[in-house]
C-alpha cells in the first residue's frame, strides 16, 4: 500500500475587518506499507514513512516561530492468532529534524532581592539576567532584551507496542494494549 498527500493550508484571523494573525502549513507526506508472506503464522509488514512540514504564524497571536520539521520512520507490525486470542506487536524508530531560525526569548524579570527566602540557585539566576538602566522604561529596552536565535535539533524516538485481543463471543472481543 502507498499513501501520499500534500497540504497547502492557510487561514487568517480577521479582527475588526483587518487581518490579525496568518497561519500557514505546507506539508508533504508519503507512507509505504510492505506486507510479507506469513512466517510461522505471524503476518504483518514493514512501514516506511516520510513527512516534511513548514509551519508559520505571523501577527499578534503568533506564539510559535516559523519552523521546518522533517521526519523519516521505519516501523514493523506483526500479529498472530493463538486460538481466540490475537497477539499484536509493533516497533517504530524515527529520525526527526527540527529547524527554526527566528526563536524569540523575551527578557524575564528576576525576583526581588528583598525576599529573604531565596536560594543560592535563585541568586545565581538574578545575576545572569541583564539588569538594565533603571532610568529607561521596560518598553524602551524590550527590543534590546529579546534574544533571537536559531535552533537545529535532531531526535530519534523509539516506540514499542504490544496488544492482546480476546474474541470471547461471536461479534464481541476484549482488548488490552
Q: Considering the chain, what is the average pLDDT of its residues?
A: 83
Return all residues near 47 (Cβ < 8 A) that are at least 6 apart.
31, 32, 33, 34, 73, 74, 75, 76, 77, 92
Residue 117: its pLDDT value, please? 54
Q: Can you tell me the distance from the alpha carbon of 174 to that of 177, in angstroms, rounded to the nearest whole number? A: 10
Beta strand pairing status for 158-169 and 172-176?
antiparallel
Q: How confident is the model at residue 113 (pLDDT cuts 50, 70, 90)?
A: low
Q: How confident is the model at residue 131 (pLDDT cuts 50, 70, 90)?
A: very low
Tens-place pLDDT, residues 7-57: 999 998 888 888 888 999 999 999 999 999 999 999 999 999 999 999 998
Residue 111: its pLDDT value, please? 59
Q: Can you tell me the distance from the alpha carbon of 110 to that of 101, in angstroms, rounded to the nearest whole number? A: 27
Residue 54: its pLDDT value, please? 94
How far is CA 82 from each of CA 8, 109, 169, 172, rounded to the nearest angstrom? 46, 62, 15, 17
The residue among 161, 167, 162, 163 whose CA lies nearest residue 85 is 167
pLDDT at residue 160 above 60?
yes
Amino acid at each position: 500500500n502507498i499513501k501520499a498527500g500534500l497540504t497547502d493550508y492557510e487561514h487568517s484571523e480577521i479582527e475588526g475587518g483587518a487581518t490579525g494573525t496568518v497561519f500557514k502549513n505546507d506539508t508533504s507526506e508519503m507512507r509505504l506499507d510492505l506486507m510479507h508472506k506469513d512466517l510461522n503464522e505471524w503476518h504483518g509488514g514493514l512501514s516506511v514513512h516520510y513527512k516534511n512540514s513548514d509551519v508559520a504564524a505571523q501577527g499578534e497571536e503568533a506564539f510559535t516561530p516559523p519552523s521546518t520539521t522533517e521526519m523519516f520512520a521505519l516501523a514493523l507490525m506483526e500479529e498472530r492468532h493463538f486460538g481466540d486470542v490475537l497477539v499484536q506487536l509493533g516497533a517504530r524508530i524515527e529520525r526527526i529534524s527540527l529547524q527554526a531560525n527566528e526563536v524569540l526569548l523575551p527578557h524575564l524579570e528576576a525576583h526581588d532581592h528583598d525576599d529573604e527566602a531565596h536560594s543560592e540557585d535563585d541568586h545565581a539566576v538574578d545575576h545572569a539576567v541583564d539588569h538594565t538602566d533603571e532610568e529607561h522604561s521596560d518598553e524602551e529596552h524590550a527590543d534590546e532584551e529579546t534574544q533571537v536565535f536559531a535552533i537545529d535539533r535532531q531526535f530519534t524516538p523509539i516506540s514499542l507496542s504490544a496488544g492482546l485481543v480476546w474474541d470471547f463471543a461471536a461479534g464481541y472481543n476484549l482488548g488490552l494494549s
